[in-house]
Amino acid sequence: MLQIPENWQDISSQNEGRTTFINGQNVFQVSVARYDGGELPNPSREDLVALASGFLGTGGRTEILHADSGKCELGSFGTVQYYSEDLEHCQVWHLSNGKDFVMATYLCSESLRVGEIDEVERVVRTISLLSRQLESGGTEK
């Protein structure tokens, strides 16, 4: 379940496979991978940070600004905040309840808006999978 601030526009219907919101030129995306059998993934917080770090890619100059992990509504999260030549700022979160995974990204092509990243951080930490809402691109305001 997502509780998105009013200033973010839902453009999920234009971006197949990801729940997507924009605010000016900044983008917030969320995608879900549901457990469907086999060995339980049960990732540690360090595993979730490593997954978030894996998003950085290899192109251009990239600098990790901050990495963190902790508890969230879903269970646990790992996050990496970085700067790259292509985007001024990016933050990636991987969340898990031990079975399912949620990946969230915040891409900022403008100067970092501290209030906005705090807003996105609050949204991410309150993500839950009580419904299939994220997979269908629905939101709750």
Write down the pLDDT at residue 141: 42
Neighbouring residues of 136: CB distance < 8 A, sequence distance ≥ 6 = none
Write down the pLDDT at residue 114: 72
Residue 53 backbone phi and psi in degrees, to 5: -65, -30
Write down the pLDDT at residue 112: 65
Q: Tell me the C-alpha to C-alpha distance, in Å, between residue 141 and each of 68, 77, 105.
A: 27, 23, 19
pLDDT tens-digit readout, 24-64: 889 999 999 999 999 999 999 999 999 999 877 656 678 88
Cβ–Cβ under 8 Å, residues 84 and 90:
yes
Query: What is the domain partition of the chain in residue ranges?
Result: 9-134
- Is it true that domain 9-134 has CATH number 2.40.128? no
Instruction: Provide the CB-side half-sphere exposure for 97 (13 A, CA).
Output: 14
Calpha distance 60→96 (Å, rounded): 30
pLDDT tens-digit readout, 60-101: 678 889 999 999 999 999 999 988 777 678 899 999 999 999
Q: Model-level pTM?
A: 0.86
Residue 33 β-bridge partners? 101
